[in-house]
Amino acid sequence: MVIGMCEGCQKSEVARVISALRQRGLEPRIISAGSNVVLGVVEEMSQGLAQELSQEIGALPAVEEINHFGSSWKLASRNFRAETTAIKLGRRTVGDGEVVVMAGPCAVESREAYLDLARKLAPLGAGVLRGGAFKPRTSPYSFRGLGEEGLRIMAEAREITGLPIITEVLRASDVELVARYADVLQIGTRNMQNFALLEAVGDTDKPVMLKRGMMATIKELLLSAEYILARGNWQVILCERGVRTFEPETRNTLDISAVPLLKQHTHLPVLVDPSHAAGKRELVPALARAAVAAGADALMIEVHADPENALSDGRQSLTPAAFAEVMAELSALAGAMGRSLGMAA
């Protein structure tokens, strides 16, 4: 329920509405303050209670209108916030119109290789460095990351390049550790509905990049984001990274419709990961361009100096030279759309 107060109404009139809601065990949130106060109630309520409240509160002269969110996601809804949420990451901002590109290897494999790659990616226009320290692998015998040592290496890369770092957190019990190093916490596709983990990252003050579950609907993605928002963390970036379909030619099928649909349904910025969608490096440039053309706020691209010998996801990783080409193409495309990659001229 969204309650719009009359312009310039008295504080006491707002307090009266709040108290009517609290009497029924509902805790309203202030969506907008200032001269146009808007209150939001996210708790589910019976139809009877909604009607009773609409009648009682709607009769108050200071209440201009009462609306309903019209969706099961509420804090994430565009009806809650009309403006796209802008999230500042270092010198770049996701959600303010520019296209922010996050890049790096699937996993941090060694200090030397990671720092070397980070030094190459920064001048190519990467806005955020990615890397996995705790890796969710399908097989327990695959390389599962360097753990805290990987985080330390990423932090060193941040010192050297000045770029913020994003890395995945796998378990709620690791959130505090990962948040000590990372600028952005990544929730992987396999954990999209790990609600304890979502609440744990919701309790931090770090931006969160939430990946769509490989078999999750857009509604389920939004409801997972809601878990983070409901804990008071508004800095959530949604990620489309492909979903499972019957098509074996690609690792996943990039759901490009998710981009405009999410832009319609939510104020949260949208990132596309063409690497995990394609699973094949030769498809990554086209999917990256499609994502920008569809209106994505950001991209995440896997890059490895020696993809053939990568310990994970080498098949989908671009070389730094191929990444440079993609960046040039994306820059031209973004420019044609009145946007930019935010790279220094």
Residues that bind Mn ion (CB under 5 A): 106, 313
Give the one residue of 4, 90, 97, 136 binding ligand PEP; rule: CB under 6 A: 136
Between residues 104 and 269, which has the closer beta carbon with respect to ligand PEP? Answer: 104
Work out how close the CB of 273 gets to ligand PEP at its nearest, in angstroms, rounded to a whole number: 6
CB 125 within 8 A of CB 343: yes
Work out how close the CB of 142 gets to Mn ion at its nearest, in angstroms, rounded to a whole number: 11
Work out how close the CB of 241 gets to ligand PEP at its nearest, in angstroms, rounded to a whole number: 4
The site for ligand PEP, by CB under 6 A, has a size of: 8
Q: Which helix (H) or strand (E) holds 237?
A: strand 236-240
- DSSP-based three-state secondary structure for 300: strand
From Mn ion, ligand PEP, none, interface partner of 188 (C-beta below 5 to 8 A by class)? ligand PEP
From ligand PEP, Mn ion, none, interface partner of 189 (C-beta below 5 to 8 A by class)? ligand PEP
Site string for ligand PEP, 37-76 (x = CB under 6 A): ----------------------------------------
CB 331 within 8 A of CB 345: no
Tokens of 315: 């098949």
Classify residue 316 by its DSSP letter. Answer: G
DSSP string, 205-233: SS-EEEEPPTT--HHHHHHHHHHHHTTT-
**What is the phi/psi pair of residue 89, to 5°?**
-125, 100
Q: How far is it, in rounded angstroms, from Cα 225 to Cα 217? A: 13
Work out how close the CB of 11 gets to ligand PEP at its nearest, in angstroms, rounded to a whole number: 46
* 304 counts as binding ligand PEP under rule CB under 6 A: no
Give the one residue of 79, 84, 85, 189 binding ligand PEP; rule: CB under 6 A: 189
* 144 counts as binding ligand PEP under rule CB under 6 A: no
Between residues 84 and 194, which has the closer beta carbon with respect to ligand PEP? Answer: 194
* 251 counts as binding ligand PEP under rule CB under 6 A: no
* 204 counts as binding ligand PEP under rule CB under 6 A: no
Whose tokens are 């609306």? That residue is 67
CB 98 within 8 A of CB 341: yes
Tokens of 213: 């579950």
- Nearest residue to Mn ion, using CB? 106
Whose tokens are 């990467």? That residue is 126
CB 317 within 8 A of CB 281: yes
Give the one residue of 92, 144, 158, 211 binding ligand PEP; rule: CB under 6 A: 211
Work out how close the CB of 129 gets to ligand PEP at its nearest, in angstroms, rounded to a whole number: 13
Give the one residue of 241, 265, 267, 289 binding ligand PEP; rule: CB under 6 A: 241
User: In sequence order, which residues have a C-beta less than 8 Å from that of residue 154 and are 6 or more positions away?
Assistant: 108, 114, 129, 131, 133, 165, 167, 181, 182
Residues near ligand PEP (CB under 6 A) are: 106, 132, 136, 188-189, 211, 241, 276
